[in-house]
């Protein structure tokens, strides 16, 4: 039996002939549309696929992309980055987080700059590495600065579970996990009377794939029924994206408004029930979570349950953590980009003062950010 190679798992999903075939189907179907369609890809991974493979070039003019806020680093407000910075500067703390967070600038500087000043800041690929770090440094408090959507939340929950079971006394958690459906609602039906739902022009959503592996497609059930926006949960490969776009267009020309799954090879309606149960065991919703550029989004963030306060860095270090909200640089339009109201080239500092090696806005820092995608792949458009 021929051994399966990793490239076999994605080669067919990057096949040029298949992509061109979908482009022809989309072009034919798009002629039947009565008006242009604006599709928001919620996830930053989709944004990078769209840009890297030049998909806008393959689509007719009446199919437009709106880049959504699906980048966990990009939506992190400065005051929470300041929390990480303050914690990192404590002499008894080792601050541990995922890679992209290292470079994000807060009001005092980035974690990279804190490390240059002598702070012990480490980035990991897996939260479970915190256990090894804690055991090797028993006199230090290891604070895991947890970020991400539903995709990474189970990994934090597993770490908490192990810390409690193994009775590891020197690991604390600063939780910054957020959830996708609530911000999608905010973008199309804001409860803030001053926002006017950002004058949204979103006609349909490409639903995030990895988020949906955990939560299931059920988290989008209400969008076709309550908000009249079709959702197609779509994989990250270019063929996936093209098929997902084609499925959305077919819904419009067939006068349907449904939740569909393109990414059926890994996504189900119910999702990973074991992961969901573990999340439920350790986390609960907070009434408001401030998203960078979007403001306070109801029920969109998670926190440790009160019974685990002794593991909660925000509780243990509450006397030294800043509480004031901090706005972005005046020239930065990341907020408009995250709302889908602007594209990166519209920013006056894009590619000039703001570049990947000298980022001013969060969308340029993260590898999933829209500005990073445009800077890296913009020449393909």
Q: What angle do CA 214, 220, 226 make, to 5 degrees?
A: 160
pTM to 2 decimal places? 0.91
Tell me the pLDDT of the chain (381 aa) as tens digits.
Answer: 455 454 454 556 788 899 999 999 999 999 999 999 999 999 999 999 999 999 999 999 999 999 888 888 888 999 999 999 999 999 999 999 987 788 888 889 999 999 999 999 999 999 999 999 999 999 999 999 999 999 999 999 999 999 999 999 999 999 999 999 999 998 888 665 544 444 568 999 999 999 999 999 999 999 999 999 999 999 999 999 999 999 999 999 999 999 999 999 999 999 999 999 999 999 999 999 999 878 899 999 999 999 999 999 999 999 999 988 888 888 988 878 877 788 899 999 999 999 988 888 878 878 788 999 999 887 644
In angstroms, the CA 206 to CA 35 distance is 19
CATH value of 78-179+271-316 in 3.40.640.10, 1.20.1370.10, 3.30.70.330, 3.40.50.11740:
3.40.50.11740
Dihedral, CA of residue 142, residue 303, residue 167 and residue 319, to nearest 10? 50
In angstroms, the CA 245 to CA 241 distance is 6
- 3-state DSSP helix/strand/coil % of the chain, to nearest 5: 45, 20, 35
Domain boundaries in the chain? Answer: 78-179+271-316
């Amino acid at each position: 039996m021929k051994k399966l190679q990793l490239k076999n798992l994605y080669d067919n999903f990057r096949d040029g002939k298949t992509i061109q075939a979908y482009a022809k189907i989309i072009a034919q179907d798009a002629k039947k549309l009565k008006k242009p369609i604006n599709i928001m890809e919620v996830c930053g991974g989709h944004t990078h696929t769209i840009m890297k493979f030049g998909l806008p070039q393959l689509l007719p003019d009446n199919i437009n992309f709106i880049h959504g806020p699906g980048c966990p680093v990009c939506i992190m407000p400065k005051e929470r980055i300041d929390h990480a910075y303050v914690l990192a500067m404590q002499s008894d703390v080792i601050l541990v987080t995922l890679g992209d967070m290292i470079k994000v600038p807060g009001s005092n500087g980035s974690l990279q700059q804190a490390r240059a000043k002598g702070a012990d800041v480490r980035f990991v690929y897996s939260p479970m590495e915190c256990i090894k770090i804690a055991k090797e440094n028993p006199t230090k408090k290891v604070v895991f600065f947890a970020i991400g959507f539903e995709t990474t939340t189970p990994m934090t929950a597993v770490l908490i579970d192990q810390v409690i079971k193994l009775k590891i006394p020197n690991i604390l958690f600063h939780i910054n996990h957020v959830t996708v459906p609530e911000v999608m609602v905010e973008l199309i039906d804001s409860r803030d009377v001053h926002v006017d739902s950002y004058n949204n022009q979103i006609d349909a959503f490409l639903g995030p794939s990895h988020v949906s592996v955990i939560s299931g497609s059920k988290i989008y059930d209400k969008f076709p029924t309550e908000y009249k926006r079709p959702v197609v949960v779509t994989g990250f490969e270019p063929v996936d994206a093209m098929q997902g776009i084609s499925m959305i267009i077919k819904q419009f020309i067939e006068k349907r408004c449904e939740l569909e799954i393109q990414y059926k090879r890994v996504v189900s309606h119910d999702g990973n029930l074991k992961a969901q149960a573990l999340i439920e065991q350790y986390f609960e919703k907070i009434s408001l979570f401030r998203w960078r550029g979007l403001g306070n989004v109801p029920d969109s963030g998670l926190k440790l349950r009160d019974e685990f306060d002794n593991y909660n860095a925000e509780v243990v270090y509450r006397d030294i953590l800043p509480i004031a909200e901090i706005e972005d640089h005046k020239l930065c339009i990341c907020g408009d980009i995250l709302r889908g109201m602007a594209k990166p080239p519209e920013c006056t500092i894009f590619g000039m003062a703001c570049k990947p090696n000298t980022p001013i806005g969060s969308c340029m820092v993260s590898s999933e950010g829209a500005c990073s995608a445009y800077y890296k792949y913009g020449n393909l458009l």
